[in-house]
Structure 1
Amino acid sequence: MSKADPGEDLLAEYNRKRDFTRTAEPSGKGAKRRVGKDPRSNSFVVQKHAARRLHWDFRLEVDGVLKSWAVTKGPSADPSDKRLAVRTEDHPLAYGGFEGIIPQGEYGGGTVMLWDRGTWAPIEGKSVADLEHGHLHFTLEGERMKGEWLLVRMKGRPGEKRENWLLRKVSDAHAGTGDTLVEQGLTSALTGRTMAEIELDKAGTQSLKGKKGDAFTQAMSDASAHTDGKARAVSSPAKGPNKAPPGRKPRTKSAVAPPEFRPVQLATLVDTVPTGNLWMHEIKFDGYRALIAASGGDVRVYTRSGLDWTDKFAPLAAQVADLDLPPCLVDGEVIARNAAGNPDFSSLQAVLKRGHGAQGEKDALEFHAFDLLEVGGEDLTSLPQIERKERLEALLAAAEPPLFVADHLIGAGESLYEAMCKAGQEGIIAKRIDAPYSGKRSRSWVKVKCTRRQEFVIVGWSRSTAKGRPFSSLLLGQYEGDTLVYRGKVGTGFDADSLADMAARLGKLARKSAPVEVDRTEARGASWVTPKLVAEIAFAELTSEGRVRHGSFLGLRTDKQAKSVTPEIPQPAPVAAIEVQVSNRQREIFPETGQTKGDLADYYAQIAPLMLPFAANRPISLVRCPQGRAKKCFFQKHDSGSFGPHVSHVPIREKDGGAEDYLYLADADGLVACVQMGTIEFHGWGSRADAVEQPDRMIFDLDPDEGLDFKECVRAAKDIRAHLADIGLVSFAMLSGGKGVHVVVPLSRGHDWDVHKDFSRRFAEAMSLAEPDRFVATMSKAKRKGRIFIDWLRNQRGATAVLPYSARARAGAPVAVPISWDELDAAKDAHPYSIADAQGLVERARALRGWGFADQALPEF
């Protein structure tokens, strides 16, 4: 990097490469070298740039221009991860505000997102001039990149024209592990848009930062326009349609030990409710986080930090033991209710103080389960959030109070948040429906609070002049890295019992010196304690010095370690948007109704929360109709390599001994990526991609003869259900979107395809032998006259069946829809819903919680 002459045109190279009549990038004409500016006020920006190859442009303001590097993999907060940064031409300062599209054919053509911005400065004792020497040690204060960083120039090879540098994070309080900066930074720091929204030039979900009053209300309204906008009443968790299915046999006691404790997933505090159907929303309970590990009558209850509190929650553990569950690990919250019936942390503490879980009718503890990490030896943490929740609903279908499955809403999070705040509750938790369980704090779980409350470490106390009061206030702190920082005092929220209890605890932890740095005024009259106790404090705000203002003591958090108490700073709400770009959205796919490729893509994006529990991580076959359903359609099961990064493949052994790559998907983008390639229908194997040889779903496809009344199909499905129940199997009904009904039998893994196929064949044959005038178990068209074919052939290795909520390549764009057994009686045909009914299907699914899931094995038959 050569030293610039004050009179030269610093941006000649930048201007030479661009035609400003075609690109909206700012012109750099007339820029001159600026010297003497305080380097601490220099700006920096990072722009995510989807040009020929995706990269991140890292830019530092130096002498009136933006010195620039292209970081191929994006910045990493991991100090062990050195990222290649290729030096590029200087850019004008105005480029620091650019976000948009550079036209194809122009230099750098593609989408540009303003990914991060802030200020930078050389560390103390260093200078901007160090850039000339190829080694710059500096600090960043951005929205994503913070702390100390290094830029180091690499020694060039002979004849090499480009200038290669390495960008590396210095180990400090802002360092991390892995690639979280790039993986979590998916939206613009300027507008809150995703790359896809910028490319479409849509406003998308704009940032709400800085908006107040009516402007905030309007922005929230605009962001949630896709929802119904009506506040929904929040009720206690609803039971699914199969709470006590007929014929279910009690499980025998398990000799397997309960699963071991795992680190829990934690939510990131955000300032607004994330919007869209890719988020599910739950009440944020005001209690103790708990993991319940169960296996039959052996039950353990762990705190979020791994402490075994089974004795404290003994009555709850006994309730879980009565369910005689298979080995499982359930995540949830233990709560107590106050006199008004609301979850209340102080009430919970009062119950525990009365004797390690001793409960009466008026103060019984409750456990609200919201996630399932493991069941029957199967690790579920890699599955989508919504599927884990459905599996949880099925596992706890027979649970009675005080055990509950936490209710949730898909989309409409603003309505739930508003209702919770009006009811005086703590807030809500929003969870990305297609995300795995990470076991750490992440942005796939976010929390939005109605009131400000955080945990603080107690570092001391102030003497009281009031008679009989052991102290006037508690002195508080929080950890920033390894340093305990003073956060002020709290003197309200105590009653006689909590004052006496706290005084006794403080006396055992007394020390002479202050564990934090605190000024003399605050320290006057203070007594100090070893920082071990954690208190939950409600407060009006934090002052500019970071001190608690108008704080109130809520209770001690004996389930949390002092070292884990750090400041919670609200982040902008993440935006969950489909990244896949759909071309030719106006292409007509269903000529009878005029519905287009864009309509179909929108349907799958909206219905993803309901479909992914059945479609994700399962080998699939696709019905593709690139020019519409009325033209050539074909079946595809092998990976041709053309579906993009959101559709994966799994090698499966073929009959000839070779292996072929079969398709599978994991998220909503995968569904839309298939639509982009002309897919209408999704058909799935009876097994998962991670255990192809172990089927977990049996299908009986009832295919009625032409002209047979649909009521006969309904009667046949209910008869099959009853016969399955007689042998201990729970089943579910689905309208196929075509002519018939599917009877779906979920199964635990453990048997192979030969057993699976043989069972289904013999069951179908038994039905046809018992009532030959109604049923046939062979494909012969001649034998099907006036009868219903019980198609058991879906249950052989390699066969597929249409997946729940899949559209069908038929007139009217019908969809396959799960239905409760009670609803089935009123069904007039197998295709009452179409892709136009996505939002209605999402709403009706609340009554179908647990549909399609059951923990059961094939009986001897």
Structure 2
Amino acid sequence: MTTYRRRRDFARTAEPRGGETSGTGDRFVVQRHRARRRHYDLRLEHDGALLSWAVPKGPTLDPAVRRIAVRVEDHPLEYADFEGTIPAGEYGGGDVIVWDRGTWTPGEDDPAAALEAGTLHFELHGEKLRGHFVLVRRGETQWLLLHKRDEHAVDDWDPEHHPVSVKSGRTNEQVAAAPEAMWRGDLPADRAEIRLRPSWRPPTDDELAELAALGQKGTWTLQGERIKLTNLDKVLFPGRDGEDPITKRELIGYHARIAPVMLPYLADRALNSHRFPRGVDAPGFWHKKAPSHAPDWLRTWTYPGADADDVQRYIVPDSPAALAWLANYAALELHPWTSPIDDVEHPSWALFDIDPGERTSFDDVLTLARLHRAAMEHLGVLGKPKVTGQRGIQIWVPIAPRYSYAETREWVEKVSRAVGNTVPELVSWAWSRSERRGLARLDYTQNVLSKTLVAPYSARPRPGAPVSVPLEWDELDDPDLTPDRWTLRTVGDRVAERGDPFAELLDQRQTLPPV
């Protein structure tokens, strides 16, 4: 650790100096690190520190490939779980994700002696990397890293095809755009991590097993909160394409698992929910008021501007347990306010809603969405699309909370009309659906206090439980894209593979340019 400390100014750098943390003795981590050059850091826990190598092209499961691995100074154990940014100008300045992690088993009784001799055999038991690896020294600091041909070997396996963090489900770009934590090198290592915004963890396997083992009703303990669950085998969604129907139990599990990526769009915002206690085959109803029987741990908020006959107290979801409770309440659709509760008069999102008519094909919706992409590029504004899970597409634009709803709506209307005027044969500005002649409406009127659009990753009341999913702009050109492509059973795989495209929008505070 002496070399590590000598190379860092702990009054300035965001990395920890190393403390008295005790590890398990067998952890490994690979961090994807974009500093002056992108590389992967392989770290093996041994004798109270992390033995470390920088691997420029990353580890691979391909046994035909030899990777250069440069031995660097040992790192402190506290660094094993670090994901965030290191300030520019500091040693290692850039962004870091936990690309893979797990445990390792040395192939020799004395790994220190094996390293000294120049060859270390070891097994990795990670989420991405598995099997028999070897490090072979080829110079003072230069080593070769290779994977032996075993049952875990995969020809042509490229780490760049698996860019998502196993800790957060985010990419380096998303972490750089919206870091959740920073390190204070001037603090002891056990207090070096400073949270920049909330983060949430999914349920454990044991917690999910407990949910699965409950009968028709029971009490589920999720992350310390006790949730009374009822009618768990009630069918809420019929199956789609021959699949089994979806029960309340499955919706509860989905809400708990998707919470880490869904809650950033709900926390600190009042919620309007669309409830279907009898399932989506029966009419649902909108619900805003926090019920009197809500548990004490469920966060609520009293709207100070409410009239006497308006809803006074709203639910503010802020935990996986809150989302699970809402699912048990048959709140299938979750619609957060556009403004946070600490400044309700100033929205932090400007919303574009492409609402298709009866004659509008999905190709027409895509044409309109691509025109919005061109408009955003022309204006120099960062925003991204999401499919609604039904027929349409929305574009969400993060804005500085300095504009009134009226100013935000006026700006969105100007952009919408510029888009609509480009293809007038696709768009109607009539208010009522009956007057639109089956054409699409670009609905800028959603930008009003307490008026809402469906949250990212919320299910929709349709067979199969399709989900509203954020996209990258280039996905609009995917020939397989449909507005209801992902369901609550499949969207988890997408998030694990691609992360959350909206994550980089969360901490943006944009001014609205003239139109």
TM range (shorter): 0.5 to 0.7
Residue 720 of structure 1 corresponds to 372
Which position in structure 2 is the counterpart of 1:586? Answer: 233
Pick which of 744-753 and 699-708 moved more: 744-753
Aligned to 1:856: 510
Instruction: State the SS of the aligned residue for 1:814.
Output: coil
Structure 1 equivalent of residue 73 of structure 2: 345
Task: State the Cα distance separating 1:745 from its structure 2 match.
Answer: 1.0
Q: Which residue of 2 aligns with 1:671?
A: 323
Give 1:696 deviation, angstroms.
1.2
Please list, as runs of the form range in 1=range in 2, the aligned pairs for 1:1-16 lying within 5 A after superposition.
Answer: none
Deviation string 1:256-291 (CA, Å, 9 cap, x unpaired) is: xxxx999989996553999xxxxxx974699xxxxx
Are residues 1:784 and 2:442 paired? Answer: no
Please tell me the residue identity of whatever aligns with 2:69.
G
Asked whether 1:643 is paired with 2:354, we answer: no
Mark the CA change 1:421 to 1:636 in structure 2 (over 3 Å): closer, same or farther.
Answer: farther
8 Å CA contact 1:700–1:744 kept in 2: the answer is yes
Question: Which has the higher Rg, Structure 1 or Structure 2?
Answer: 1
Change (3 A) 1:624 1:773: same
Aligned-partner residue type, residue 840 of structure 1: D
CA RMSD of aligned residues (A): 4.6
2: CA distance, partners of 1:745 / 1:565: 37
Aligned to 1:760: 412
Q: Are 2:399 and 1:686 equivalent residues in the alignment?
A: no
Question: How does 1:618-629 map onto structure 2 within 5 Å?
Answer: 618-629=269-280
Kindly report which structure 2 residues correspond to 1:480-495, keeping only aligned pairs within 5 A, or say none: none
User: Residue 383 of structure 2 contacts residue 396 of structure 2 at CA under 8 Å; is this kept in 1?
Assistant: yes
Q: 2:17, 2:276 → 1: CA distance?
A: 41
Alpha-carbon deviation of 1:626?
1.6
Answer yes or no: is the 8 Å Cα contact 1:369–1:404 preserved in 2.
no
Equivalent residue, structure 2, for 1:844:
497
Measured after TM superposition, the shift of residue 596 of structure 1 is 0.2
Please state whether the residue corresponding to 1:665 is helix, strand or coil. coil
**For the Cα contact (< 8 Å) 1:336–1:347, is it kept in 2?**
no
Tell me how far 1:418 sits from its aligned partner: 6.0
Pairwise CA distance, 1:707: 3.3
Note if contact 1:582-1:601 (Cα within 8 Å) is conserved in structure 2: no
Aligned twin of 2:484: 831
1:265 & 1:631 partners in 2: Cα distance?
59
Q: Deviations over 1:66-113 (max 9, x none)?
A: xxxxxxxxxxxxxxxxxxxxxxxxxxxxxxxxxxxxxxxxxxxxxxxx
TM-score between both structures, scaled by the size of structure 2: 0.61
- Over 3 Å counting, the alpha-carbon distance change for 1:411 and 1:804 in structure 2 is farther
The Cα shift of 1:750 comes to: 2.4
Instruction: Determine if the alignment matches structure 1 residue 800 to structure 2 residue 452.
Output: yes
Cα distance in 1, alignment partners of residues 82 and 463 from structure 2? 42
Offset of residue 597 of structure 1: 0.3
Tell me how many residue pairs correspond in the alignment. 375
Q: 1:282/1:705 Cα in 2 relative to 1: closer, same or farther (>3 Å)?
A: farther
Query: Which residue of 2 is the match for residue 297 of structure 1?
Result: none
Q: Which residue is equivalent to 2:83?
A: 370
Match of 1:406 in 2: 96
Q: Which amino acid aligns with 1:744?
A: W
Deviation at 1:790, TM superposition (A): 0.6
Q: Tell me which residue corresponds to 2:177.
A: none
Residues in 1 aligned to 2:382 and 2:190: alpha-carbon distance in whole angstroms:
46
Q: CA deviation at 1:799?
A: 0.7
1:607 to 247, 251, 258: 258
Partner deviation per Cα, 1:653-707 (whole Å, 9 max, x = no partner): 4463888222211121111011111111111111223332221112111111113
Q: Which residue of 1 aligns with 2:355?
A: 703
Which deviates the most, 700-709 or 764-773? 764-773
Secondary structure of the corresponding residue to residue 773 of structure 1: helix
Query: Is the contact between residue 682 and residue 802 of structure 1 (CA under 8 Å) also seen in structure 2?
Result: yes
C-alpha distance after superposition, 1:411-467 (max 9, x if no partner): 989624966995879xxx99689xxxxxxxxxx99xxxxxxxxxxxxxxxxxxxxxx
Cα distance change, pair 599–860 in 1 and its aligned pair in 2 (3 A): same
Quote the offset at 1:729 in angstroms: 0.8
Alignment match, 2:161: none
1:780-822 alpha-carbon deviations (Å, 9 max, x no partner): 2244224221111221111111011100111221111112222
Which stretches in structure 2 are left out of the alignment for 5+ residues? 1-11, 38-51, 57-67, 104-124, 136-144, 146-164, 170-179, 192-201, 208-221
User: Does the 8 Å contact 1:283/1:420 carry over to 2?
Assistant: no
Deviation, 1:720, is 1.1
Deviation at 1:718, TM superposition (A): 0.8
The match for 1:741 is: 393
1-side partners of 2:415 and 2:347: how far apart? Answer: 17
* Partner secondary structure for residue 343 of structure 2: coil
Q: What code does the residue aligned with 2:400 have?
A: S
Structure 1 equivalent of residue 381 of structure 2: 729
2:427–2:442 Cα contact (<8 Å) kept = yes
d(CA) in 2 for partners of 1:752, 1:421: 59
Conserved 8 A contact 2:84-2:97: no
Does the Cα contact within 8 Å between 1:646 and 1:669 map onto a contact in 2? Answer: no
| Alpha-carbon distance in 1 for matches of 2:330, 2:405 | 31
**Given the superposition, is the C-alpha separation of residues 402 and 409 from structure 1 closer, same or farther in structure 2, using an over 3 Å criterion?**
closer
CA offset at residue 708 of structure 1?
Answer: 2.0
Q: Distance in 2 between matches of 1:338 and 1:767?
A: 47
Residues 624-643 of structure 1, C-alpha deviations (whole Å, 9 max, x = no match) = 11221222421112212333
Alpha-carbon spacing, 1:564–1:282, altered in 2? closer, same or farther (3 Å):
closer
In percent, how many aligned pairs have the same letter? 21
2:453 and 2:82 map into 1 onto residues whose CA distance is: 32
Unaligned runs of 5+ in 1: 1-259, 275-280, 287-314, 320-334, 349-367, 373-391, 434-443, 446-558, 567-573
Q: Deviation per CA, 1:120-172, whole angstroms, max 9, x where unpaired?
A: xxxxxxxxxxxxxxxxxxxxxxxxxxxxxxxxxxxxxxxxxxxxxxxxxxxxx
Aligned to 1:126: none
Query: What are the within-5 Å matches in structure 2 for residues 539-618 of structure 1?
Result: 576=204, 577=207, 578=222, 579=225, 580-592=227-239, 593-618=244-269
Map 1:286-435; keep pairs closer than 5 Å: 337=54, 340-342=68-70, 344-345=72-73, 370-371=83-84, 404-408=94-98, 415-416=126-127
- Is the Cα contact below 8 Å between 1:338 and 1:347 reproduced in 2? no
- Counterpart of 2:408, as a letter, is H
CA–CA distance in structure 1, aligned partners of residues 307 and 423 of structure 2: 39
Ranked by relative contact order (alpha carbons within 8 Å, sequence separation 6 or more), the top structure is 2
SS of residue paired to 1:801: coil
Rate the CA distance shift 1:420–1:702 in 2: closer, same or farther, 3 A. farther
In the alignment, the residues of structure 2 paired with residue 432 and residue 265 of structure 1 have an alpha-carbon distance, to the nearest angstrom, of 24
In the superposition, relative to structure 1, how do residues 606 and 369 fare at CA in structure 2: closer, same or farther (>3 Å)? closer
Q: Contact 1:646/1:673 (CA < 8 Å) preserved in 2?
A: no
Per-residue deviation, residues 297-322 of structure 1 (Å, max 9, x unmatched): xxxxxxxxxxxxxxxxxx98xx9xxx
